[in-house]
Amino acid sequence: MRLLIIGALEGQLSEATKMAMNGGAKVAHAPSVEIALAALRAGRGADLLLVDVVMDIAGLIAGLEAERIAIPVVACGVEANAAAAVNAIRAGAKEYIPLPPDAELIAAVIAAVARDSSEFLFRDPAMERVVRMADQIAGSDASILITGESGTGKEVIAKYVHARSKRGNKPFISVNCAAIPEALLESELFGHEKGAFTGAIARRIGKFEEASGGTLLLDEISEMDVRLQAKLLRAIQERLIDRVGGGKPVPVDIRILATSNRNLNEAVREGSFREDLLFRLNVVNLKLPALRDRPGDIVALSEHFVAKYAKANGLPTRILSPDARAALLKAPWPGNVRELENTLHRAVLLSSGDVIGPEAIVLPDGMGLNEVAAASSLSAQLAQTAANMSSALVGRTVADVERDLILDTLDHTLGNRTHAANILGISIRTLRNKLNQYADEGTNVPDPGERRSVA
């Protein structure tokens, strides 16, 4: 793990550095926020920032956001800095570590960051097959396309693959292609030279260079503009990139992983995605099943999230009741694991006791899981009925369908022609003409007050 410590390397902070290094972290130091941001901009990445609480943490976090650099920040300081600690948390720091440092606490923070990078919980055989394939290919440098619905855990399994690869101790860099404006994505990926465009006040190392030696994840790659896809294809094929405004190619050594929640073959047919780029990316495809198709994972993940958020909110241990487990299994989870996690975080906060019942597990709109399951079941039934009706019509003529509809309606009205014509939305004259035609063809037409006899 790469740790960047920001602040004066004196006394207790220096001791924290030694503890982190003893815990296996690779530690770098920046004496000021400006120097830290310059180092990150230059591609000297980090997995965690440990910042002296007296530094300008709000400015640091604003600078990270402006540069679109996503790295967790942990503040540290002496106990007398209580007000500064509160301000640091308000500014966006994830944790506060009091000084003098505690070796176990430093190790726990490092372990938590490492665990967040590669933790992957599964129990269902459908997911087990995907993980088994991931284990098989992790050691290679082959590009991998990870597909599946939104919220199924595509980035999580990308981190899992990286952690088990020969590049596991090198950087893992993720770029969300859908979250970055199209005009900025090229600079984000390939970097830029000073003065390359308005606002380029200094050289910026892109994600390709930052990931060199490690793994680059192109998240939601289907959202990338076709023109930029051509430059990406060259970078993948030749392992060379051109910074925006740069004069010469820069070599990079990376493994490419990509994710998409869209069908890229359809995107190729539509012309919004390059076929040659798809071939380059899709050496191996890891397709993650939706949560509703891996029921064996639902309870295991639910228990994990309940324990996680009870601890995070300083609450006593919570458990799920049998009824709550049953309700969780029946719900459709269109948002997949992400939706499940958010729902159980809410349930932990809403539960009035140590046992979480189904009444505490509600969606943001207030609908309970049993209501959601019932609505989903009704929708499925209606969809199946429509499909069955469509299948029944295949191979039949319009005249056949029209005849059956008219005669069925006439049965419904016990032969009342006027009532049947009103239901069908046709005139009584049209209905009588149709019935005369059917009688001439030998079809049994019911008289008023009767239904057709059933053979």
Question: Lowest-pLDDT range, 286-295, 307-316, 390-399?
Answer: 390-399
Q: Which CATH superfamily is domain 395-440 in?
A: Homeodomain-like (1.10.10.60)
The tokens of 421 are what? 């014509």
267 and 292 in contact (C-beta within 8 Å)?
no
Q: By three-state DSSP, how is residue 143 classified?
A: coil
How confident is residue 411, by pLDDT bands cut at 50, 70 and 90?
confident
How confident is residue 366, by pLDDT bands cut at 50, 70 and 90?
low
Q: H-helix or E-strand containing 274?
A: none
As a whole number, mean pLDDT of residues 187-209 equals 83
Q: What is the pLDDT of residue 455?
A: 43
Q: Using one digit for the tens of pLDDT, what is the confidence trace for 327-340?
A: 899 888 989 999 99
pTM: 0.64
* Whether the domain at 2-118 and the domain at 125-287 fall into the same CATH topology: yes
CATH architecture of 125-287: 3-Layer(aba) Sandwich (3.40)
As a whole number, mean pLDDT of residues 208-231 equals 92
The tokens of 297 are what? 């994972």
As a whole number, mean pLDDT of residues 195-200 equals 75
Q: Reply yes or no on whether the pLDDT at 393 is more than 70.
A: no
Q: What is the pLDDT of residue 219?
A: 93
Q: Choose among 47, 76, 73: nearest CA to 61.
A: 73
Residues of the chain with pLDDT > 70, as a percent, come to 84
Q: Which CATH class is domain 292-375?
A: mainly alpha
CA atoms within 13 A on the CB side of 136: 9
- Domains of the chain, residue spans: 2-118, 125-287, 292-375, 395-440
The CA distance from 342 to 337, in Å, is 9
Q: Reply yes or no on whether the pLDDT at 374 is more than 60.
A: no
CB burial of residue 242 (10 Å; 0-12, 13-18, 19+): middle
The CA distance from 430 to 185, in Å, is 64
Q: Which CATH class is domain 2-118?
A: alpha beta
328 and 369 in contact (C-beta within 8 Å)?
yes
Q: Using one digit for the tens of pLDDT, what is the confidence trace for 58-78?
A: 889 888 877 767 788 888 877
Q: Which residue has the higher pLDDT, 266 or 44?
A: 266
Question: Lowest-pLDDT range, 90-99, 185-194, 410-419?
Answer: 90-99
Q: Using one digit for the tens of pLDDT, what is the confidence trace for 123-169?
A: 899 999 999 999 999 999 999 999 999 999 999 999 999 988 999 88
Mean pLDDT taken over the chain: 83
Q: Using one digit for the tens of pLDDT, what is the confidence trace for 426-444?
A: 888 889 889 999 888 888 8
